[in-house]
Structure 1
């Protein structure tokens, strides 16, 4: 009998790189739990938890949520699924956060989606969102069944103010500045795997093949 080892993975990539789509496919194909920092953030703000109120105050003032607050929040949720394999999305975003994660868990692999910024700009300015759930649509390649409305609820979709071309350019520059050191951090540890391309459907088969081999190798080691 092959023993199943707990697998801990991180997915990285700039906003609009297809992380949500790829994460969904990884979860469906390999059974990992999807831990999204955005979902956790929204849930805590909506529930008005102590950390949620602190983060809302930062966001309302246009400030970044402090590293130690984000780390406490995410690690708290990870402890709740301690005996499960998971895929972490949206965290870590800084070296401090990466080190905090490393102090608590050993990360097996980091999947980095490398998509040209020009392609991302085109994607994001075509993006519409169902705010209550966070579901994302794109009028070019993932349109809603009914234009302007969420597939599941029928509620109206909105375009975020930060999806304008000027704001997208700033966000991408900020991501590059903030995250390049994190990618290098994981590269130096030998756990970073980068997948480059312009279309999620063409990147996905390579991610799937890599993870199939990775998980098979991991499980054989503990068989």
Structure 2
């Protein structure tokens, strides 16, 4: 089973990716994790990527593709994988098609996680972080016992700058501009499966499992 997960920030995509990977016994692959691991291990690709990351720039497509290719060639990806954060662009999607063809495999489905903008704004703008111990909260879904005070260390809770409503809207617009061509690309190949994740994060796994089984058949998921 080889899956791709698309979804805007605040959609619960990361949680769903972990849950699906565990359910289907496949490897969850996040490009962010790949970057961090290769930089930590000081691989040649990792050192090249760190130059861009340290400068606050996007890692170029060719370098990102090379890092993903190296990761997918690992033994633990042989029985399947869940790609989270890749591809982000049409050239990356086309490169992934070439990679999977060379590996004599194919992408089985692309999950497009959908959540209304107003709910994403609520989820992200409600996030708070303790400036002392770093523990995370959400004033709507997981509030502290005392307003703006950490339950653990008693320090003040702060809101990150990228969780401000206007910044969130900018991130959502940027995501849609970047991802729209990908959605069309995979829809034309009959790989796209829309997933409603507007409920409580982590609770829609059975629905997604049923939708995938309906699209692909039980044998594909169990094999």
TM-score, normalising length: structure 2: 0.79
Deviation digits for residues 61-94 of structure 1, max 9, x if unmatched? Answer: 3321111111111111011034221111110000
Alignment of 1:1-223 (within 5 A): 7-80=1-74, 81-105=76-100, 106-127=106-127, 138-141=138-141, 148=150, 160-199=160-199, 200-201=201-202, 203-213=204-214, 214-218=216-220
How far apart, in 2, do the equivalents of 1:128 and 1:37 lie? Answer: 25
Who wins on radius of gyration, i.e. which is larger?
2
Conserved 8 A contact 2:126-2:140: yes
Change in Cα spacing, 1:158 to 1:69, as seen in structure 2 (3 Å) is farther
Gaps of 5+ in 2: 101-105
- Please report how far the alpha carbon of residue 32 of structure 1 lies from its aligned counterpart in structure 2 after TM superposition: 1.6
Gaps of 5+ in 1: 1-6, 151-155
- Please report how far the alpha carbon of residue 45 of structure 1 lies from its aligned counterpart in structure 2 after TM superposition: 2.6
Deviation digits for residues 103-141 of structure 1, max 9, x if unmatched? Answer: 1111110011011122112212233579xxxx9764533
Tell me which residue corresponds to 1:153: none
Supply the RMSD in Å over aligned alpha carbons.
3.1
How far apart, in 1, do the equivalents of 2:66 and 2:151 lie? Answer: 36
How far apart, in 1, do the equivalents of 2:80 and 2:150 lie? Answer: 36
Q: Secondary structure at the match of 1:35?
A: strand
May I ask how many residue pairs the two structures share in their alignment? 207
Change in Cα spacing, 1:178 to 1:209, as seen in structure 2 (3 Å) is same
Change in Cα spacing, 1:40 to 1:140, as seen in structure 2 (3 Å) is farther
Q: Secondary structure at the match of 1:39?
A: helix
Q: Secondary structure at the match of 1:193?
A: strand
How far apart, in 2, do the equivalents of 1:71 and 1:140 lie? Answer: 38
How far apart, in 2, do the equivalents of 1:45 and 1:162 lie? Answer: 24
Conserved 8 A contact 1:195-1:203: no
Conserved 8 A contact 2:213-2:221: no
